């Protein structure tokens, strides 16, 4: 990687992190903004590419935040060229939104003994997308509002999703937490929650913690109770994981922060200010956690055979 590319990549990390820090300094968790949007409450999902595939990781946060800030109703985003390929065009004067593509390449170097060693070099590339609301000539499917699903059906779907993970979930008391040493999730009784969606949001948060176990995704929680910074990083992962899962399940989660998360705000600000890549790492871990929980779900074939 050239020095210019390195500086461009560092600037990208800084610009995105600084935007999220600015929201946090106002007491706003940008990854939960979509849930307060009137146009989104009946059709929650992750942002979608032009081909219907959902975005992942840090791009989910970037596009959610931008959609709310600019009042976009469509879930779909695409590049200028993709719009043209669909026979459409970005309106004159519209400004795009930056998203990123993360990957890596192999660079082979020869060490002092003459041995060739491969280095996996990560890189980040920015590109610009536009919301379907900024584009003319698109097929109506990009603007159709998804029919509102019966809330009871959505909650039942979430219950099946949680049951399929095989996690040990206990109910009782007034606190929600994951106990790593005994590998179980503790949840208050369902009746204590304001509504079913709040229950789903909290359980999604704890299930994200649950994926950290060594025999699952092996995120190190050994310093969680000893180091405020490490605790803040893990809580950020769980926050994002909860939002990703709620979107995947079509659930509108809690609109207010959990009381215990107010204490994390300062810690998140310190972590993000001191490490411009922290939010990218957290989003990546949250994406892997959500992916793991989806992996535990039975396939349609398996479900048919079991029935």
What is the pLDDT confidence band of residue 45, given thresholds at 50, 70 and 90? confident
pLDDT in tens, 50-82: 999 999 999 998 998 888 888 888 889 999 999
| Bridge partners of residue 116, in order along the sequence | 110
What pTM did the predictor assign?
0.81
> Which residues have a Cβ under 8 Å from the Cβ of 104 and sit 6 or more positions away?
120, 121, 122, 123
The per-residue pLDDT of the chain, averaged, comes to 83
pLDDT higher at 124 or 187:
187
What is the pLDDT confidence band of residue 39, given thresholds at 50, 70 and 90? very low
Residue 142 reports pLDDT greater than 90: no
% of the chain at pLDDT higher than 90: 51
Domain boundaries, the chain: 1-146, 149-307
pLDDT for the residue numbered 138? 94
pLDDT for the residue numbered 119? 64
């Amino acid at each position: 990687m050239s020095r210019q590319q390195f500086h461009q990549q560092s600037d990208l990390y800084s610009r995105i992190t600084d935007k999220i820090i600015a929201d946090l300094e106002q007491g706003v968790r940008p990854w939960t903004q979509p849930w307060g949007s009137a146009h989104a409450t009946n059709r929650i999902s992750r942002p979608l590419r032009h081909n219907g595939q959902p975005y992942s990781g840090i791009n989910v946060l970037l596009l959610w935040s931008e959609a709310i800030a600019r009042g976009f109703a469509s879930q779909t985003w695409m590049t200028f060229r993709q719009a043209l390929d669909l026979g459409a065009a970005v309106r004159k004067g519209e400004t795009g939104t930056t998203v990123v593509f993360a990957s890596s390449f192999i660079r082979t170097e020869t060490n002092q003994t003459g041995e060739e060693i491969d280095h996996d070099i990560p890189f980040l590339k920015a590109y610009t997308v536009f919301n379907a609301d900024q584009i003319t000539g698109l097929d109506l499917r990009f603007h159709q509002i998804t029919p509102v699903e019966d809330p009871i059906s959505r909650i039942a779907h979430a219950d099946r999703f949680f049951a399929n993970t095989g996690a040990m979930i206990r109910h009782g008391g007034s606190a929600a937490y994951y106990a790593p040493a005994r590998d179980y999730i503790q949840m208050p009784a369902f009746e204590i929650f304001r509504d079913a969606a709040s229950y789903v949001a909290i359980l999604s948060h704890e299930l994200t913690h649950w994926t950290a176990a060594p025999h699952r995704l092996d995120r190190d929680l050994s310093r969680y109770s000893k180091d405020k910074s490490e605790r803040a990083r893990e809580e950020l992962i769980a926050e994002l994981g909860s939002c990703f899962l709620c979107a995947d399940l079509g659930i509108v989660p809690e609109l207010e922060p959990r009381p215990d998360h107010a204490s994390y705000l300062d810690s998140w600000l310190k972590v993000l200010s001191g490490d411009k890549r922290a939010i990218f790492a957290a989003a990546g871990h949250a994406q892997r956690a959500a992916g793991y929980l989806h992996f535990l779900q039975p396939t349609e074939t398996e479900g048919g055979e079991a029935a």
